[in-house]
Amino acid sequence: MLLTNPDLGLFVFIIIGAAAVFCSLMVVHAKNIVHSAVYLAGLMIALAAMYVTLNAEFVASIQVLVYVGAVVTLILFAIMLTRRSEVP
Amino acid sequence: MTQTIYDNIVYLLSLVGISFGDSIVPKIIIVLFIAILILVEVSLMVMFFTWMERKVLGHIQVRRGPMITGPHGLLQPIVDGIKLLTKEDITPKRADKWLYFIAPLIVFVPSILVFIPMPFGQGAIVSDLPVGILYIMAISAISPVGVLIAGWASDNKYALLGSLRAVAQDISYEIPMVLTVIGVVLITGSLSMQDIVLAQGEKTWFVFLQPLGFIIFLIAAIAEMSRIPFDLHESESEFVAGFFTEYSGMKFAFFFLAEYAHLFGISAIMATLYFGGWQGPLIPGIPVVIMSVGWFTIKVLAIVFFTIWLRGTVPRVRVDQILSIGWKVMIPLALLNLFITGLLVAGGVL
């Protein structure tokens, strides 16, 4: 509805792209591994939003369902069930 | 045919004589107005649910529930809200400050976003997404991440154990839920929520076409909503309050709101998928929009009443029982339901 406007569509795309780049940098640079996992979830949601701006809603839904719903949850689960030697 | 709230607002404005061409600012204002409308609708329903839960539980237990504020305690939710707003917002010393702050939002935002493709009535839908039900399933898969973060960031063993339990339960019951939804989608031939409602107008309510699927969906839905037979994440006798043990004030209010918005969301999905959504007999003289929203609200309230009724009568199950039922009974039954539905659809019966 709104995204059909070319200027606004480009604006939204740039914002989402910046968020995706920021999140992916933070996945690598975060000191705490749980923070990394949360940034990974943010990155996946930003990618899904990018698919929506490209009118690919099905891919976006599957992206969120598989990556955020399953992969990131599994990663967080694994982090919490493993023993850590020192508290960061 | 699939009108949205946006179209209706533009139509109403054009009746008054206001129209706008290509300018983008009024469109953004209308979209913001719709967003606020949905937020208000969800908050009002949540407030009503909390009141209803106390009243129904009270009457089940042969007492009267809240009676002081307003007629039959109707203003009790407002008083509760003010209490939560004015409480001190405590952050534990050893908590992870940033994650502790963001966790309630990660749980709350998806529970509201679920309402975007929800047909509240004929012409009362925010956006009839072509991937409607898949979008709903995807969005509601985000909130377990917030639950895990909340439990971990609190740095409290009860909170961590509670969140692990909650997420284990959520992900194991999401699978049978999605598998039963596929049955409905097979019959309809479309993922759009509005199409699912319209298909039930042509055939019959899917609760009659999918009885096994409905029972599996109901059990999975109660587990997803964490209502009492399956409310293991906050079983008071084992954990203090589950993953939000450490939360207070407004952050707690967000978890509370999210929980009841989730209840509303899943009840609305159930009403749409199995009970014909906004379809119902119309009374001549009353506009279709108002009647259809009324029918939808009545169906949702009936389902919410059923869950409260369960809470008043059924004891809690153990954690190993709940997980083994989920994986060993629910998923095979859901697959069986999908198999039978697929055969019937392929044979041209449904």
B contacts of A72 (beta carbons < 8 Å): 145
Q: Is the pLDDT higher at A82 or at B2?
A: A82
pLDDT at B86 over 90: no
Q: Is the pLDDT higher at B331 or at B8?
A: B331
8 A C-beta contact, residue B181 and residue B175: no
A contacts of B28 (beta carbons < 8 Å): 2
Q: Does A87 reside within a domain?
A: no
**Is there a contact between B141 and A69 if contact means CB atoms under 8 Å apart?**
yes
The whole-angstrom separation of Cα B126 and Cα B301 is 21
**Is there a contact between B142 and A69 if contact means CB atoms under 8 Å apart?**
yes
Q: Does A18 reside within a domain?
A: yes
Residues 8-67 of B with CB under 8 A from A: 24, 27-28, 31
Q: pLDDT at position B1, please?
A: 47
Q: pLDDT at position B247, please?
A: 81
Average per-residue pLDDT in chain B?
A: 86
Q: What is the mean pLDDT of residues B200-211?
A: 87
HSE, side-chain direction, 13 A CA sphere, residue B348: 0
Q: Does A57 reside within a domain?
A: yes
pLDDT at A41 over 60: yes
Q: pLDDT at position B11, please?
A: 82
Q: Is A3 helix (H, G, I), strand (E, B) or coil?
A: coil
Q: What is the mean pLDDT of residues B168-194?
A: 89
pLDDT at B332 over 90: yes
Provide the domain limits for residue A55: 6-81
pLDDT at B159 over 60: yes
**Is there a contact between A2 and B24 if contact means CB atoms under 8 Å apart?**
yes
Optimal mutation site among A8, A26, A32, A61, interface B, most CBs of chain B within 10 A:
A61
pLDDT at A2 over 60: no
Q: Does A86 reside within a domain?
A: no
pLDDT at A13 over 90: no
pLDDT tens digits, B8-27: 888 888 888 777 766 778 88
pLDDT at A1 over 60: no
Q: pLDDT at position A86, please?
A: 56
A contacts of B131 (beta carbons < 8 Å): 57-58, 61
Q: Which residue of A has its CA nearest to B29?
A: A2
Residues in chain B: 350
Residue B121, strand partner residues:
B124
Optimal mutation site among B136, B142, B152, B192, interface A, most CBs of chain A within 10 A:
B142
Domain with residue A74: its CATH number is 1.20.120.1200
Among residues B138, B237, B232, the alpha carbon closest in space to that of B181 is found at: B138
Q: Give the Cβ contact number of residue B196 at 10 Å.
A: 25
Among residues B104, B76, B78, the alpha carbon closest in space to that of B91 is found at: B104
**Is there a contact between B134 and A34 if contact means CB atoms under 8 Å apart?**
no
Q: pLDDT at position A84, please?
A: 66
Q: Show the 3-state SS of chain B.
A: CCCCHHHHHHHHHHHHCCCCCCCCHHHHHHHHHHHHHHHHHHHHHHHHHHHHHHHHHHHHCCCCCCCCCCHHHCCHHHHHHHHHHHCCCCCCCCCCHHHHHHHHHHHHHHHHHCCCCCCCECCECCCCCCCHHHHHHHHHCCHHHHHHHHHHHCCCHHHHHHHHHHHHHHHHHHHHHHHHHHHHHHHHCCCCHHHHHHHHHHCCCHHHHCHHHHHHHHHHHHHHHCCHHHCHHHCCCCCCCHHHCCCCHHHHHHHHHHHHHHHHHHHHHHHHHHCCCCCCCCCCCCCHHHHHHHHHHHHHHHHHHHHHHHHHHCCCCCHHHHHHHHHHHHHHHHHHHHHHHHHHHHCCCC
CA dihedral for B124, B196, B142, B266, sign (positive or negative):
positive
Nearest to A38 among B138, B139, B149 (CB): B149
Q: Does A44 reside within a domain?
A: yes
Average per-residue pLDDT in chain A?
A: 84
Among residues A83, A67, A81, the alpha carbon closest in space to that of A27 is found at: A67
pLDDT tens digits, B245-278: 778 778 888 888 888 998 999 999 999 999 988 8
pLDDT tens digits, B43-62: 899 989 989 988 998 999 88
Measure in Å the smallest separation between the Cα of A19 and chain B Cα atoms: 16
pLDDT tens digits, B273-316: 999 888 888 888 788 888 888 899 999 999 999 999 988 888 88
Q: Does A22 reside within a domain?
A: yes
Residue B281 φ/ψ region, left for φ over 0, alpha for ψ in the -120 to 50 degree band, beta for the rest: beta
Quote the number of domains for chain A.
1
Q: Does A21 reside within a domain?
A: yes
Residue B124, strand partner residues:
B121
Optimal mutation site among A7, A68, A79, A87, interface B, most CBs of chain B within 10 A:
A68
% of chain B residues with pLDDT over 70: 97
Which tokens belong to A73? Answer: 């949850």
Residues on A contacting B at a C-beta cutoff of 8 Å = 1-2, 5, 8, 32, 34-35, 38, 41, 45, 57-58, 60-62, 64-65, 68-70, 72-73, 76-77, 80-81
Optimal mutation site among B148, B161, B224, interface A, most CBs of chain A within 10 A:
B148
Q: What pTM does this model have? A: 0.88
Kindly indicate the confidence band of residue A32, based on its pLDDT and cuts at 50, 70 and 90: confident
Residues 87-146 of B with CB under 8 A from A: 96, 98-99, 102, 127, 129-131, 134-135, 137-139, 141-142, 144-145
Measure in Å the smallest separation between the Cα of B33 and chain A Cα atoms: 14
Q: Does A26 reside within a domain?
A: yes
Measure in Å the smallest separation between the Cα of B142 and chain A Cα atoms: 6
The whole-angstrom separation of Cα B134 and Cα B137 is 5
